[in-house]
Copies of this chain bind each other. A is one copy, B any other.
Amino acid sequence: METEKLRVVIIGGVATGPKAAARARRMAPEAEIVLVDSGSILSYGACGMPFYLEGHVKDLKQLLRTAYGVTRDEQFFLREKGINVLTRTKATNIDRERKTVSLSNLDTGQDSVISYDKLVLATGARPTTPPVEGIDLMGVYRLHHPDDACKIMDNMEHFKEMVVIGGGFIGLEVASAFSNRRLFVSLIELHNQILPGVLDPDLEAILRKHLENRGMEFYLGRKVLRFEGDAEGNLARIITDRDSIDANAVIMAVGVRPNVDLARKAGLEIGSTGAIAVNEYLQTSDPDVYAAGDCAETTHVLTGRRVYLPLASTANRQGRVAGDNVTGRRTRFKGVMGTAVLQIMDWNVGRTGIGDSEARALGYDVLTTVTPAHDRSHFHPDHSLVILKIIMDNKSRKVLGVQAIGPGNVDKRIDVAASALHFGAGIDDLSELDLGYAPPYNTVIDPLQHTANAMRNKADGLSHAITAQHLKERLERGEELIILDVRTEREFKFKKFVGGSMTIPLTLSDLRGKLQELPRDKPVIVLCESGVRSYEAMRTLKGAGFENVEYLEGGLQAWPYGPSGLMS
């Protein structure tokens, strides 16, 4: 072992860097480990910032502490871990031949050079702040560093008309935090949907409708052109390419891009995603230089493609792998599955694998299904709704992705799916899983398996389904459709579906006796609340010789149009 003289230098002290340093220390007790960061705060739980703004995390310092209450500062790293930390120190250059890094102290201006045996780049990402006019007005905030969170918290009492720019993870978590604080929040997003690339448009529409009902306002497909202020230099309005939105506070959450300056300058290979290229051991094009976390690209396990998906979980898992490999072990980072979960107000959102349009673009024979379900036994007081979507390749029956939204337990189903997808699960595998059942936790057939069964029915030609979007298009075209509503009388009275040339309310228990009375000359769309009864009715009608019959997949629970639209 050469560990006695091994020197590991790690650049970046937020998540990946400290994790790599700590793991390296445990693997090589005698190694010299130096952690360099240009900031003054180390190892902070950046993901906690929206929860701080919401008031759930009372003190920003909690995000800097270990679970046992010790602040992770320079002293902590030195005393507890024997790791030398240089804060307020910028790494300005890497000499890969001499294996040295040039450093500059941002306070004293003093330059120095440090040598390394192994180098880890954990330089992270930085916000892609758009170069718009008025960005320095008072009331314009970003949220990338704890200092930003402090500034927002200090000024929050003045927030009246608040706008979040960016409908990705952070944007929605921030919008959610302020909505939960009873502020009226508007959100501007460049794409025509929130969570682009995260949720498919069908689930996104259901989620957005819920958030609108809860009082959030969305400006989609807008490009922000400039911020306009008042005479005192305070933000007054936001000008987009389509409108002017009054606002005295704006938080920019417009995504990040990998910080690759140092790597590029050192001649290290940058991947097609714009992040540092690494192999499965997280080695860059220089085998003594590793890159991990938000500055590096990774592999999508399902597609095998190189991707840039900066997430805290990946950053931490990679930090551990880097810490192993710089100290002589050989640990693989297999890649990611595109798994993500987030909470937006009282709903949960999650996804894993790839989405509908990405799957089509990759040439898969895509089949999807959307299924609402109870997350727990319907007789258990805590039961709630989850709406799941499975994306499948119909040729191989391989599951390509799972997405879920709703007030119920989403994260469990996404993680179970992520686990199955890791092993290349087919749709039949999902149905065959032996998941734990008890009334406080799920239904006898778990929502994920219920959805998988719906997908198997579809793939096996048993299920003739129409999606909400497709039904809406057909209704808007004025097609003559018979809407057969098989819900109970009480449900029918409570919530009506408006549309089609004729609506026939006929409960499932009356259907079999009245099959002869139903018209057979027009297409029939069967609907119910969740799609279970309408699927059954569709099977009954098919069995009775009705040819043109489909059921509304996901039922009214997955119908995102209205309440002022088709529903009344």
Taking beta carbons and an 8 Å cutoff, which residues of A are in contact with B? 15, 25-27, 29-30, 45, 47-48, 51, 56-57, 62-63, 65-70, 75-76, 79-82, 301, 311-317, 320, 332-343, 348, 350, 352, 374, 377-381, 411-412, 414-420, 422-423, 425, 428-429, 431-442, 444-446, 449, 453, 462, 487-488, 490-491, 508-513, 529-530, 533, 535-536, 539-540, 542-544
Across the A-B interface, the 4 shortest Cβ-Cβ residue pairs: A29-B543, A341-B436, A313-B437, A423-B423
**Given A377-B48, A422-B429, A445–B313 Cβ distance below 8 Å?**
yes
Complex: A343 Cα to B317 Cα, angstroms: 31
**Given A316-B444, A380-B48, A539-B29, A339–B435 Cβ distance below 8 Å?**
yes
Contact B411 A422 (CB under 8 A): no
Contact A444 B312 (CB under 8 A): yes
Residues of chain B within 8 A (CB-CB) of A544 are 29
**Given A70-B488, A378-B67, A380-B48, A414–B436 Cβ distance below 8 Å?**
yes
Of chain B, the residue at the smallest CB distance from A302 is B434
Between A and B, 12 residue pairs with Cβ closer than 8 Å are: A45-B379, A47-B437, A48-B439, A56-B381, A79-B508, A79-B509, A334-B432, A411-B441, A416-B418, A416-B419, A418-B435, A422-B423
Rounded to whole Å, the gap between the CB of A447 and the closest CB of chain B is 11
Complex: A51 Cα to B509 Cα, angstroms: 29
Residues of chain B within 8 A (CB-CB) of A442 are 411
Of chain B, the residue at the smallest CB distance from A315 is B444
Of chain B, the residue at the smallest CB distance from A82 is B512
Contact A340 B436 (CB under 8 A): yes
Rounded to whole Å, the gap between the CB of A63 and the closest CB of chain B is 6
Contact A379 B422 (CB under 8 A): no
Complex: A418 Cα to B446 Cα, angstroms: 13
**Given A48-B380, A488-B69, A415–B435 Cβ distance below 8 Å?**
yes
Q: Name the contact of A437 in the complex, choosing from B311, B337, B445 (C-beta under 8 A).
A: B311
Contact B434 A418 (CB under 8 A): yes
Complex: A416 Cα to B441 Cα, angstroms: 14
Complex: A416 Cα to B412 Cα, angstroms: 8
Q: Name the contact of A536 in the complex, choosing from B26, B352, B446 (C-beta under 8 A).
A: B26
